[in-house]
Amino acid sequence: MRKDVVYEANRSFNPVFKQKKSILKVMKTVFLITFSFCMIYPLYWLFISAFKSTDEFFQFPYALPSEWTFDNFVRAWNLADLGGAMINSTVVTVVGTIFTVFLGALTAYVLSRFSFKWKGFIMLFFLLGMLIPIHSTLVPLFSIMNEIGMLNTYWALILPYTAFELPIAIFLITAYMSSIPKEIEEAAVIDGAGYWGIFFRIMLPIAVPAMATVAILAFLRYWNEYIFALVFINDASLKTLPLSLSIFSDGYSTDYSLTMAAMAIAVIPTVIMYVFFQEQIMKGMVAGSVKG
Amino acid sequence: MQDILKAKHWIIISLLPALLLYTFIVIVPIFWSSYYGFFKWSGMNEPSFIGWANYLEVVNDPIFWRALKNNMIIVVASVFGQVPIALLLALLLRKTTLFQRFVRSAVFLPMVISTVVVGLIWGYIYNPEFGIVNALLEMLGLESWTRAWLSDPAVNMYAVSVPIIWNYIGPYLIIFIAAIQNIPTEIEDAAKMDGANGFRKLFYITLPMMWTTIKVAVVLCISGSLKAFDQVFVMTGGGPAQSTELLATYMYNNTFMTYRYGYGSAVSTMIIIVSLILILISQILMRRKEEKGMSI
């Protein structure tokens, strides 16, 4: 024991060893900086290009803009009706998120607090949904919605988004509620509160952390979702942001800095959200993907 | 008795909305598409029953097999790209200094960006006129390597895999960092006492202790990369000449571009079968890990 301590001490005083260690440390730092740069670069390039004129973009595609101009943002906003798209995205995302959190919490309350015959089966049934590839339901959902006249409505997006997010929502909230001791509701039961009362006044407030995680995940997923919107929405006035971007880039395919500005507008809300809720987003997405 | 009835009533009422929504939107379409796979149907006219013809056509279409092969390329690229990169970074990012936290956030950043934006921006990065990939190669004196990355069938499947790798490193990094932090410090200390340092500690202590987590990551990576197709769809749409076709783009192009809903339904069913087979294989991997009695 004593010997080890001496040995360690000698080593750290050894100048050659120290030098080797510091070279390694520099190499590590250089690697990490380079790697982070590669991760951020596409987004950085997107933003600087959005502030350039198209001519300048072609001349110096990688340089900082000589003159920072908001022209592209204004033009993109007006040409692609990004304002309308943003309203559509907001409606679909907010309503979908509320549905997901509420239905997820309600179902989780029942699954975590009651025991009944079919409970195991219902849990398994919801878990099954995580295995189903979303794009394999496109054709049947399109046909069904076509039959009942649901295409080209907000519901055509809100309902599928909610349905596909429900398994993860139920799973995360059930796990959280199960970890809370049952004594907490017992007082309320004695007071004669009904199940709705217990759910709204006790379970919902307690489960806020899990519900917040679900809400953030749902929000990001719905805001960015593309393929359902592409297939179920044709009406120009109902297009969500990702959809109007993909169409916009086709129409103005050579006006690159204009397209970049449109993309920047679409990306800003999620990036701001990321800055504020970073830890929660990381943890939530990992929990969501591990369970999914 | 009254109470039990009341509870039963409540359970049914509160489970019903989620259960109905989920059943009709997630489960019913699977049966619906396997059924309509037996019909010739343009979406407008009455569907007419044609037996196994659609399914046979899918299995006999070389493009379907190419799409399946391309999907496998994405899966393999993701497993051998995302997992090792995330592992290396996790080993370097064991502290919580400001700098290290910044690197972590940077790596996770693409996760919050719309897949459409990812597809479009990487399309520009690969652009032969002004894309930075060719510009960098020219700068390095490798002009002969420059090419139209997304339209050259010899390389475009690998080119479209890079953005998908870039997009999804984040979660694996977080999983690995958590796994490293879970290694008991006593074990590390003991290893140090025994004179294990650097690579020896890495190969005899850290990696074996993380092995179960690495397996879980691989399983997640396989099922996750089956879902990734937005980026490819935006970058190439499956072209040129169907060289980057994935199962999902194949399904989309055959259904909504040519109005063959019966055929599209058959392809959808095939997608489910392929995914279930792959998930089953990865679950078997998972099972092995549980036998050893460890979990993440």
For B238, the 3-state DSSP assignment is coil
Mean pLDDT of B10-34: 93
pLDDT at A1: 43
Q: Does any CB of chain A come closer than 8 Å to the CB of residue B254?
A: no
Query: Cα–chain-centroid distance for residue A87?
Result: 18
Q: Is residue B12 part of a domain?
A: no
Put simply, the answer to whether B117 touches A116 (Cβ < 8 Å) is no
- Tell me the nearest-neighbour CA distance from B269 into chain A, angstroms: 7
Mean pLDDT of A193-207: 88
Say yes or no to pLDDT of B48 above 90. no
d(CA B13, CA A195): 11
Say yes or no to pLDDT of B290 above 60. no
Map A118-157 to HEC letters.
CHHHHHHHHHHHHHCCHHHHHHHHHHHHHHHCCCCCCHHH
Say yes or no to pLDDT of B49 above 80. yes
Q: Does any CB of chain A come closer than 8 Å to the CB of residue B251?
A: yes
For B80, the 3-state DSSP assignment is helix
- DSSP per residue, A75-130: HHHHHTTHHHHHHHHHHHHHHHHHHHHHHHHHHHHHHHH---TTHHHHHHHHHHGG
Identify any residues that bridge with B48 across adjacent strands, giving them in sequence order. B40
* Chain B residues 269-288 with a CB less than 8 Å from chain A: 269, 271-272, 275-276, 279
Q: How far apart are the first and last CA of chain B?
A: 44
Q: Does any CB of chain A come closer than 8 Å to the CB of residue B202?
A: no
pLDDT at A46: 93
* Lowest-confidence segment of A196-205, A206-215, B69-78, B283-292 by average pLDDT: B283-292
* Lowest-confidence segment of A274-278, B20-24, B57-61, B207-211 by average pLDDT: B207-211
Q: Which residue type does A244 have?
A: S
Mean pLDDT of A212-240: 93
Q: Is residue B274 part of a domain?
A: yes
Put simply, the answer to whether A136 touches B269 (Cβ < 8 Å) is yes
Each residue's pLDDT tens digit, B96-138: 889 999 999 999 999 999 999 999 999 999 998 888 999 999 8
Q: What percent of chain B has pLDDT over 70?
A: 96
- Tell me the nearest-neighbour CA distance from B153 into chain A, angstroms: 22
Higher-confidence position of A3 and B239:
B239
Categorize the per-residue pLDDT at B289 as very low, low, confident or very high, splitting at 50, 70 and 90.
Answer: low
Each residue's pLDDT tens digit, A93-124: 999 999 999 999 999 999 998 888 889 999 99
By residue range, what is the domain housing residue B79?
57-291
**Long-range contacts of range B152-155, CB-CB < 8 Å, 24 or more positions apart?**
B153/B240, B153/B241, B153/B243
Contact B32, A132 (CB under 8 A): no
Sign of CA dihedral B259, B261, B265, B270: negative
Omega into B240 within 30° of 0, i.e. cis?
A: yes
Query: Cα–chain-centroid distance for residue B73?
Result: 11
- Tell me the nearest-neighbour CA distance from A289 into chain B, angstroms: 7
pLDDT at A275: 92
pLDDT at B288: 59
pLDDT at B108: 94
Higher-confidence position of B223 and A270:
A270
Say yes or no to pLDDT of A2 above 60. no
Each residue's pLDDT tens digit, B173-231: 999 998 988 888 888 778 777 777 777 788 888 888 888 888 888 888 888 887 778 99
d(CA A54, CA B57): 47
Q: Which residue of A has its CA nearest to B124?
A: A256
Put simply, the answer to whether B21 touches A263 (Cβ < 8 Å) is no
Contacts of A45 in chain B (CB under 8 A): 121, 124-125, 132
Chains A, B: CB pairs < 8 Å:
252
Angle CA(A86)–CA(A89)–CA(A91) in degrees, nearest 5? 105
Q: Is residue B17 part of a domain?
A: no
pLDDT at A16: 67
Identify any residues that bridge with B40 across adjacent strands, giving them in sequence order. B48
pLDDT at A104: 96
Question: For the domain that residue B163 is a member of, what is the CATH number?
Answer: 1.10.3720.10
d(CA A207, CA A106): 11
Fold of A80-291: MetI-like fold (1.10.3720)
Identify any residues that bridge with B39 across adjacent strands, giving them in sequence order. B49
Candidate from B26, B111, B193 with C-beta closest to A129? B26
Categorize the per-residue pLDDT at A166 as very low, low, confident or very high, splitting at 50, 70 and 90.
Answer: very high
Put simply, the answer to whether A28 touches B224 (Cβ < 8 Å) is no
Each residue's pLDDT tens digit, A82-94: 889 999 999 999 9
- Tell me the nearest-neighbour CA distance from A50 into chain B, angstroms: 12
Residues 6+ apart with CB under 8 A from A262: A76, A77, A80, A82, A244, A245, A248, A249
pLDDT at A3: 46
Q: Which residue of B has its CA nearest to A284?
A: B171
B43 conformational bin, left if phi > 0, alpha if psi -120 to 50, beta if neither: left
* Lowest-confidence segment of A128-137, A166-175, A188-197, A263-272 by average pLDDT: A188-197
In chain B, the number of structural domains is 1
Put simply, the answer to whether A163 touches B265 (Cβ < 8 Å) is no
Contacts of B125 in chain A (CB under 8 A): 42, 45
Say yes or no to pLDDT of A65 above 90. no
d(CA A23, CA A19): 6
3-state percent breakdown (helix, strand, coil) of chain A, nearest 5:
80, 0, 20
For B36, the 3-state DSSP assignment is helix
Mean pLDDT, chain A, integer? 87
Sign of CA dihedral A253, A254, A255, A259: positive
Is residue A152 classed exposed, middle or buried when 0-12, 13-18 and 19+ CB atoms within 10 A define those classes?
A: middle
pLDDT at B1: 60
For B97, the 3-state DSSP assignment is coil
pLDDT at B286: 66
Domain extents in chain A: 2-71, 80-291
Q: Is residue B101 part of a domain?
A: yes
Query: Parallel, antiparallel, or unpaired for β B48-49 and B39-40?
Result: antiparallel
d(CA B1, CA A8): 73
Q: What percent of chain A has pLDDT over 90?
A: 51
pLDDT at A102: 96
Q: Which residue type does A198 have?
A: I
